């Protein structure tokens, strides 16, 4: 089977790694890929999704897997399907679950799925009135896609009102902020649950935990994610069942009713408050860095999972996972997440494989020049460790971190701390 992965991050690299070891896969393509994906397949650049679909058709690509939300929100899946191609991802209509927070919150209300109390509006006065009824802190969100930066947690009413004004004026996020959601703050712990869906049936993947803040102990600015691990002990069978019954099933049923059956990966961002799951958000794609730990835990050939999901055949799949744990530690460049950094050569110690079984690197913001890899993106690469316990996986991931060097590298030293605390 010939498979193409759309995207250029660590997420797409990890999907590529899973496909590379899959006996059903004969050839791999990345569109556009990054500086390390040529180690796994061919990088392809096309001017738009139409051209990419033509490329897929001409090259007899059997399956395309879409990583990033922008491509989904822009309708890549609809374009490929119109040309009779098999593609794994959410349609443009279904991608509104991520593309518009207003659509998402109203959807949650329509189907009585638990979520934070909110108002959605483009009227500052209405937003301010609602702010006056809430306790601090207060959460203000821009409606559209803001690359993870459109959420403000305000510690005073004035700050919340200012955030609303800045968003509605277009000052903070352009058109993406012309509608806002204001909501109550939920105090609990966060979990990411990924559900592979074919519109009708679904498979829930092991729950993962991301670490969004830049620095240890969850301080510093929010980032795209600085590390993750799975499965997390912070969810048990009772909680899984609650999420399945109260969130997963009504979401799939609701999307069908809305005429936009959900195909692809549904990423449910949950806040667990007193053992009750509350939906913070949906994304319509794999999380990054969560994908980088879920892919190596997948025992079922990745091509089979994605192909069956893309062709409405999930009910005939018995999904299996390794009984191990996986941890990924993100190595970011010097100025992340504030700005770009000077390209820095990546040096990996030669003895990398000595004593470092069960580890690998997933490459993200890297480029290739004269045969050398350079750190050029914000999140540069992820050091992944696998093990029979979270502790073992973590030790391995950090051993690998010690062997990867580039000027200005920064990473958190406490990934999975909540799980280890929980285990004691």
d(CA 286, CA 306) in angstroms, rounded, equals 12
Between 10 and 179, name the residue whose CB sits nearer to ligand GLY: 10
Name the minimum Å distance from CB 267 to ligand AMP: 10
Between 116 and 401, name the residue whose CB sits nearer to ligand AMP: 116
Applying CB under 6 A, which residues contact ligand AMP?
116, 139, 141, 151, 183, 185-186, 190, 212, 269, 280-281
Name the minimum Å distance from CB 329 to ligand GLY: 14
- With contact defined as beta carbons under 8 Å apart, do 199 and 261 qualify? yes
Residue 27 CA neighbour count, 13 Å, CB half? 10
288 binds, among ligand AMP, ligand GLY, none (CB under 5 to 8 A by kind): ligand GLY
Quote the tokens at residue 113.
């799925």
- With contact defined as beta carbons under 8 Å apart, do 293 and 229 qualify? yes
Between 268 and 375, name the residue whose CB sits nearer to ligand AMP: 268
Name the minimum Å distance from CB 288 to ligand GLY: 4
124 binds, among ligand GLY, ligand AMP, none (CB under 5 to 8 A by kind): none
In degrees, to the nearest 5, what angle opens at C-alpha 191 toward C-alphas 65 and 360? 55
Between 96 and 308, name the residue whose CB sits nearer to ligand AMP: 96
Between 120 and 290, name the residue whose CB sits nearer to ligand GLY: 290
Name the minimum Å distance from CB 222 to ligand GLY: 10
10 binds, among ligand GLY, ligand AMP, none (CB under 5 to 8 A by kind): none
Residues 6+ apart with CB under 8 A from 420: 390, 391, 394
Between 146 and 399, name the residue whose CB sits nearer to ligand GLY: 146
d(CA 279, CA 169) in angstroms, rounded, equals 28
Between 213 and 405, name the residue whose CB sits nearer to ligand AMP: 213
Peptide bond connecting 144 to the previous residue in cis, omega within 30 degrees of 0: no
In degrees, to the nearest 5, what angle opens at C-alpha 207 toward C-alphas 204 and 212? 130
Applying CB under 6 A, which residues contact ligand GLY?
148, 210, 224-225, 283, 287-288, 290
Q: Which of helix, strand or coil describes residue 278?
A: strand
Lookup result for tokens 């990473």: 411
Name the minimum Å distance from CB 202 to ligand AMP: 21
151 binds, among ligand GLY, ligand AMP, none (CB under 5 to 8 A by kind): ligand AMP
DSSP output for 191-245: EEEEEEEESS-EEEPPPBEE--EEEGGGEEEE-S-SEEEES-TT--HHHHHHHII
185 binds, among ligand GLY, ligand AMP, none (CB under 5 to 8 A by kind): ligand AMP
281 binds, among ligand AMP, ligand GLY, none (CB under 5 to 8 A by kind): ligand AMP
Between 114 and 343, name the residue whose CB sits nearer to ligand AMP: 114
143 binds, among ligand GLY, ligand AMP, none (CB under 5 to 8 A by kind): none
Burial of 275 (0-12, 13-18, 19+ CB in 10 A): exposed
144 binds, among ligand GLY, ligand AMP, none (CB under 5 to 8 A by kind): none
Name the minimum Å distance from CB 256 to ligand GLY: 25
Helix axes 290-297, 10-20, angle to 10 degrees: 10
| CA distance from start to end of the chain | 46
Name the minimum Å distance from CB 112 to ligand GLY: 25
Name the minimum Å distance from CB 291 to ligand GLY: 8
């Amino acid at each position: 089977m010939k498979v193409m992965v759309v995207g250029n991050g660590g997420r797409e690299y990890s999907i590529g790694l899973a496909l590379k070891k899959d006996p059903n896969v004969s050839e791999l393509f990345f569109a556009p890929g990054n500086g390390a994906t040529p180690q796994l397949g061919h990088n392809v650049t096309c001017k738009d999704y139409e051209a990419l679909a033509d490329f897929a058709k001409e090259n007899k690509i059997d399956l395309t897997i879409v990583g990033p939300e922008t491509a989904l929100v822009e309708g890549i899946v609809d374009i490929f399907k119109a040309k009779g191609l098999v593609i794994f991802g959410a349609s443009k209509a279904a991608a509104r679950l991520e593309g518009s927070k207003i659509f998402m919150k109203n959807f949650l209300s329509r189907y009585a799925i638990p979520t934070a109390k909110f108002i959605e509006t483009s009227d500052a006065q209405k937003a301010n009135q609602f702010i006056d009824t809430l306790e601090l802190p207060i959460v203000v969100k821009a409606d559209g896609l803001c690359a993870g930066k459109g959420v403000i947690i305000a510690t005073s009413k004035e700050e919340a009102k200012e955030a609303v004004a800045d968003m509605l004026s277009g000052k903070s996020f352009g058109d993406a902020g012309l509608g806002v959601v204001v909501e109550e703050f939920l105090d609990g712990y966060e979990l990411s649950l990924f559900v592979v869906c074919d519109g009708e049936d679904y498979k829930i993947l092991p729950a993962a935990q991301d670490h969004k803040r830049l620095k240890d102990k969850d301080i510093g600015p929010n980032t795209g994610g600085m590390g993750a691990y799975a499965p997390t002990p912070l969810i048990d069978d009772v909680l899984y069942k609650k999420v399945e019954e109260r969130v997963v099933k009504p979401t799939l049923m609701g999307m069908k009713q809305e005429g936009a059956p959900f195909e692809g990966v549904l990423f449910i961002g949950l806040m667990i408050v007193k053992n009750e799951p509350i939906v913070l958000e949906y994304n319509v794609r794999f999380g990054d860095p969560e994908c980088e730990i879920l892919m190596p835990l997948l025992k079922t050939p990745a091509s089979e999972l994605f192909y069956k999901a893309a062709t409405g055949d999930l009910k005939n799949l018995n999904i299996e996972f390794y009984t191990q744990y996986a941890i990924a530690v993100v190595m970011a460049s010097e100025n992340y997440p504030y700005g770009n950094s000077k390209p820095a050569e990546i040096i990996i110690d030669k003895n990398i494989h000595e004593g470092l079984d069960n580890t690998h690197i997933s490459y993200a913001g890297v480029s290739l020049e004269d045969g050398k890899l350079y750190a050029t993106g914000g999140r540069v690469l992820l050091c992944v460790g696998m093990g029979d316990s979270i502790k073992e996986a973590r030790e391995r991931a950090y051993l690998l971190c010690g062997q990867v060097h580039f000027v200005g590298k920064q990473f958190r030293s406490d990934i999975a701390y909540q799980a280890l605390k929980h285990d004691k």
